[in-house]
Amino acid sequence: MNRIIYIYRLLTPECIRDLIYNRREEKRKKKIDVHNIQNEIYNYLKSINSSDPEILEIEKFLLNYPLNTFPLIIKSNKKIEVKNGKGMYYVDFKNKKLFFPKGTSKKTIIRYCNGIFEEQDPSSPHSYLSEEFNINENSIIADIGAAEGNFSLSIIDKVKKVYIFEADNVWTKALKKTFEPWQDKVEFVFAKVSNKNEKGYISLDEFFKDKPFPYFLKLDVEGSENCVLKGAENIINQDNIQVAICTYHKYEDEKNFKTFFENKGYKTQFSNSYMIMYENGEDFKKPYIRRGVLRAEKSKIN
């Protein structure tokens, strides 16, 4: 499938691809009755009579603004200039070059980057870090589910070493180009991180069995986070470790991951506010809102 996408991007002009995308998006949005969904969420939240200030803020938002996955984040209006870097487009991201796969249209890149800026806003429920939960110059990072690499790029100058794990080979060349200036501290692993070790798959315990363990794990793998944890028992059981794990992909992840880490002696805290999962089809159900990222931390036992 990735090969087909690659050929499609190379052979189809940008203007045609953007036209196809826009029409597809129009059809998709017509299938979602946003107004009724917004009323449904609002009425449910009111019915539970919560005193949680974050839920009250979402109620207020739903009453006054259009539905949005990140309800308390202002839509990004940042002017994004897409530049040509010898065959691959890139954008300036935190004073660094963030490259995109060859054939990606400029409009697609602008849409994508606006999504990144909303998603990783410091007040966003999808933000991995906070002022209290951060990395330092001695950190060894495992970025699991890196995609375009915005997280690793944002911290690359601050850390000792970054292992970038990405299973989608669409990103391979772009990631290598993005991190070319930091070859001395970046290692790529183009495989799916899981609890098994076979062709195309790798567990963290197996990968790091003869390497220093990472001190910081970032997990964003589209609902496969639990499989990653099952294959990282040795790493998870160490002291002095931080984990930022997405909890919105599956309905029960928020509760299950919090329990999992606290049972192992971690202190946990969720990121700010909630995400509204209104485009999840059959997975769209009460309470409709989900925590985005769990931040778990375990210090050395004295």
Structural domains of the chain, with CATH: 125-298 (3.40.50.150)
Which residues have a Cβ under 8 Å from the Cβ of 76 and sit 6 or more positions away? Answer: 114, 117, 118
pLDDT value at position 28? Answer: 57
Alpha helices in the chain (DSSP H): 2-11, 14-30, 34-47, 53-64, 106-119, 150-155, 172-178, 204-207, 225-230, 233-236, 253-263
pTM above 0.75, yes or no: yes
Question: In the prediction, which pLDDT does 302 show?
Answer: 40
Asked if the model's pLDDT at residue 72 lies above 90, the reply is no
Tens-place pLDDT, residues 141-180: 999 999 999 999 999 999 999 999 999 989 999 999 999 9
Banded pLDDT at 266 (limits 50, 70, 90) = very high
Residue 67 has pLDDT above 70, yes or no: yes
Percentage of the residues of the chain whose pLDDT score is greater than 90: 61
**Contacts of 173 by beta carbon, 8 Å cutoff, 6+ apart:** 88, 101, 102
Q: Is the pLDDT of residue 31 over 60?
A: no
pLDDT of residue 280: 61
* Section 57-85 average pLDDT: 84
- Residue count (the chain): 302
Mean pLDDT of 15-25: 63
For residue 75, pLDDT beyond 70: no
Segment 189-244, tens digit of pLDDT: 999 999 999 988 999 999 999 999 999 999 999 889 999 999 999 999 999 999 99
What confidence score (pLDDT) does residue 181 get?
A: 96
Query: Which residue has tokens 């487009």?
Result: 89
User: Chain-wide mean pLDDT for the chain?
Assistant: 88
Pairwise CA distance, residues 71 & 163, whole Å: 32
